[in-house]
Amino acid sequence: MRIARSALHAVGELIWPRDCLLCDAAMPPGPTAVCICPSCKTELTTDTFATCPRCASSIGPHVPFTGNCPSCRNEEYHFASAQRLGVYDGRLRDAILKIKNPHREALAETLGILWGERSKLRLLQSNPQVLVPVPLHWGRRWSRGFNQSESVARGLGLALELPISTWAVRRTRATPTQTTQTPAERRRNVVGAFLAGRVRAVKGVRILLIDDVMTTGATCEAVTLALLGVGAAQVDVAVLAHR
């Protein structure tokens, strides 16, 4: 049976050659659950900076660390910790920009699988019981066709063997994009923008909140407050990249 499966796989590779979902380079032969070439995989999973466990910002080698960093020293966060796959730059930035476009759901799920395989022990350090993706407003989701954070969480859940809850929290109103706003504007922009959905799904539960990018932490903080407000035991944050 094993020989037959290998033969079928080889034939499949000839008929349907696979390309890297990120750079379109031809994939090397052999079975893989992550259709990202070795070069892209190395770039995506290599984070050369130490990071703040409170906000996932990069920490310089000579910066004294006392439980927070210069980026979050004056911030009040209610999530217990934050971590990232890498910094918002290079190949990881390219990948995140791609998954914000229609028909890129497979790439988003693949990034989640790759992230889970690369950082499994660290992602499970807080003993999460469920993954909750940051929701999109229904209008934006409809125009894009999917929620990229949900797709990343789906792949991550496969790698970590954890369930995801897509209805644990919902976005109650459309908010302007955070990209061009100041930190203060970002916080005001998301105040009251999220509401816990299925209270039974999160009450007393340790949650790992999943998003693609964190800048000031305003969005993750707003979602965290909604989840803690209905009795979630703890919320930790994991993002693909910190900007």
| Beta strands across the sheet bearing 234-242 | 82-87, 234-242, 206-214, 130-133
Whole-angstrom distance, CA of residue 217 vs CA of residue 187: 9
Instruction: Report residue 9's pLDDT band, with 50, 70 and 90 as the boundaries.
Output: very low
Q: Are 237 and 83 in contact (CB under 8 A)?
A: yes
Which pLDDT score is estimated for 139? 74
Task: Give the side-chain half-sphere CA count within 13 A for 140.
Answer: 16
Instruction: Report residue 4's pLDDT band, with 50, 70 and 90 as the boundaries.
Output: very low
How much is the pTM?
0.86
Which pLDDT score is estimated for 150? 96
How many other C-beta atoms are found inside a 10 Å radius of the C-beta of residue 87?
18
Percent of the chain with pLDDT over 70: 86
What average pLDDT is seen over the chain? 86
Percent of the chain with pLDDT over 90: 60
Region of poorest pLDDT, from 51-55, 139-143, 224-228: 139-143
pLDDT per residue as tens digits for the range 80-110 = 999 999 999 999 999 999 999 988 999 999 9
Whole-angstrom distance, CA of residue 161 vs CA of residue 116: 10
* Annotated domain spans of the chain: 49-242
Whole-angstrom distance, CA of residue 13 vs CA of residue 23: 18
Mean pLDDT of 135-164: 90
Residue closest to 51 by CA, chosen among 39, 63, 43, 41: 63
pLDDT per residue as tens digits for the range 172-206 = 876 666 566 666 676 777 877 899 987 888 999 99
Whole-angstrom distance, CA of residue 8 vs CA of residue 154: 28
Which pLDDT score is estimated for 178? 58
Amino acid identity at 139: G
Which pLDDT score is estimated for 180? 62
Pick the CATH number of 49-242 from 1.20.120, 3.30.310, 3.40.50, 3.30.1760: 3.40.50
